[in-house]
């Protein structure tokens, strides 16, 4: 008779010692929708819809009133309206990736957008209009990619949106450098990658961005079309982003 009891004990032990699954999204919204490249949690009235992309994976979800669309690929657009005083911005870690989020200043309803650099060269942008900013932030907070780490997600709370300025080095790079440069692909301008920073050296880059014009003594420096003069702290934040 001891064998059945032993089997039951081993079964109970296995059920109570296995690691608990990570709660992606902290149960703030109940259901999980699977888009293949990523999943997210959304209330039951939100449904998936598909769209035909040209050079990236696109689609979205809607509850019939509010709609969120996403763009996943090489050419997913960046957030570009930093300095717009009708908007607030925040930078945070989501699923182990660096995310930038934009919401309307009143924080109740309006356009919302989030951009994430994934494993190079892919980017992810999700955006739309909502009558419930806090609710949609909960949906965005729950996003999980196959290569992500949901334990490295910070809550997307309204209190973190405090300024219309670019919130970090990544955002400053998009605003000041992204019009001509990519971080991972060379074109008519060099990719400002980590290797580029290591090759040129931080002093060279700081000097270049501090002056923003061609120096006759160094023909390798081309004119920089930066929109404004960058402060030293801003330059250091851009470099720190390029080194990551």
Q: In order of start, what are the domains of the chain with their CATH numbers?
A: 31-165 (3.40.1000), 173-243 (1.10.760)
**pLDDT at res. 8:** 47
How far, in Å, CA of 150 to CA of 94, rounded?
A: 7
Least Cα distance to 178 among 164, 166, 192 occurs for 192
188 neighbors 179 (Cβ within 8 angstroms)? no
How far, in Å, CA of 84 to CA of 80, rounded?
A: 10
Q: What is the CA radius of gyration of the chain?
A: 22
- Strand locations in the chain, DSSP E? 31-34, 38-42, 47-50, 57-62, 67-73, 87-94, 97-104, 110-117, 123-130, 144-145
Mind spelling out the 3-state secondary structure of 78-111? CCCCCCCCCEEEEEEEECCEEEEEEEECCCCCEE
Give, in order, the Cα–Cα distances in Å from 95 to each of 110, 126, 128, 140, 150: 25, 15, 21, 10, 4
How far, in Å, CA of 198 to CA of 143, rounded?
A: 33
How far, in Å, CA of 204 to CA of 210, rounded?
A: 10
For residue 91, report the phi and psi dihedrals to the nearest 5 degrees: -125, 135
**pLDDT at res. 241:** 78
pLDDT in tens, the chain (244 residues): 555 554 544 444 444 433 333 344 444 446 799 999 999 999 999 999 999 888 899 999 999 999 999 999 988 888 877 888 899 998 889 999 989 999 999 888 999 999 998 887 788 999 999 999 999 999 999 999 999 999 999 898 888 888 887 777 777 777 677 667 777 777 777 888 888 888 888 888 887 777 655 554 555 555 565 555 677 887 888 888 788 7
192: number of Cβ within 10 Å: 23
């Amino acid at each position: 008779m001891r064998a059945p009891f032993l089997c039951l004990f081993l079964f109970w032990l296995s059920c109570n010692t296995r690691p608990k699954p990570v709660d992606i999204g902290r149960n703030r919204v109940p259901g999980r929708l699977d888009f293949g490249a990523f999943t997210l949690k959304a209330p039951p009235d939100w449904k998936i819809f598909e769209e035909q992309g040209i050079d990236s994976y696109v689609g979205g979800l809607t509850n019939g009133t509010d709609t969120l669309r996403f763009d996943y690929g090489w050419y997913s657009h960046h957030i570009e309206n930093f300095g717009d005083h009708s908007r607030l911005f925040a930078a945070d870690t989501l699923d182990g990736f660096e995310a930038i989020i934009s919401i309307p200043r009143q924080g109740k309803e309006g356009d919302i957008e989030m951009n994430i650099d994934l494993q190079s060269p892919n980017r992810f942008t999700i955006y739309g209009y909502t009558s419930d900013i806090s609710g949609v932030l909960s949906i965005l907070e729950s996003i999980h990619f196959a290569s992500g780490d949901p334990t490295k997600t910070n809550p997307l709370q309204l209190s973190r949106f405090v300024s219309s300025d670019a919130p970090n080095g990544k955002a400053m790079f998009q605003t000041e450098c992204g019009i001509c440069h990519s971080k991972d692909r060379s074109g008519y301008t060099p990719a400002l990658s980590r290797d580029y920073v290591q090759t040129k050296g931080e002093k060279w880059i700081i000097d270049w961005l501090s002056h923003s014009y061609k120096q006759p003594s160094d023909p390798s420096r081309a004119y920089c079309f930066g929109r404004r003069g960058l402060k030293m702290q801003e330059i250091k934040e851009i470099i720190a982003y390029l080194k990551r």
